Structure 1
C-alpha cells in the first residue's frame, strides 16, 4: 500500500492497519512519527498568531473529514496526533489526515 493508493476522504468503514502497513506508510510521509500508538508531528511557527491560524485550519479539516486529532498548542508550536479510537489503533484515516496536514504545512518539521 502506498500513500497514493489512499482515498482522499476518511471513511467510517476502517480497520486497524498492521504494524507492517503502518511502517510502510510512515516511511512515505514526511515529518510524522509513531508515538504511543498514534501518528504525531510537531510543527514550529514564528509566532502564536500563525500557530493559532494553523490550529484553526486543522480544526476545519478535521470537521470536513470527520476525523479529529489531539492537538497540543504552545507559543510557536503545535503537536498534532492522529489515531482511530474506534479501531484502537492507526487506520488509513490517520494517514489521509496526516497527508492533508502536510499539504497545509509542507516544510515545517
Structure 2
C-alpha cells in the first residue's frame, strides 16, 4: 500500500505547487484556459498522464475553467502519487497555455 504523507510533507510539497491547495484529504487546483477547446486539450493530456500513472484525478469542467482534485482513495488520503500527478498536471496546463 502507498504511504500517506504527513502534514509536514504535504506542506513541503505544496510549497513547490503554488497553484494547489489542500482541501481535507485532497489537493485541488483551478485553471482558467483561454478557450473551451484549450481546456479540453488540457483534459486530454491529463487523461493520458493519469492512465500512464494508473492514478486518476477528479476533473470538473466549467466552460474554460478546470478544477482538478487529487487524493489516493485506496490509501485514504494524500500520497506521493498525488504530488507527482499534480506536477504533471501543472506541466500540461503550462504547455497548453504556451501553445505547445
TM-score when scaled to structure 2? 0.89
Please, which of 52, 59, 62 is the counterpart of residue 47 of structure 2? 59
Could you list the runs of 5+ residues in structure 2 that have no partner in the other structure? none
Calculate the aligned-residue CA RMSD, in Å. 1.5
Moved over 4 A (4+): none
Alignment of 1:14-29 (within 5 A): 14-29=2-17
Aligned length: 96
1:74-105 deviation digits (Å, cap 9, x = unpaired): 11110011100011100000000001111122
Q: Which residue of 2 aligns with 1:38?
A: 26
Match of 2:66 in 1: 78
Task: Indicate the residue corresponding to 2:85 in structure 1.
Answer: 97
Distance in 2 between residues matched to 1:80 and 1:47, nearest whole Å: 17
Unaligned 5+ segments in structure 1 are 1-12
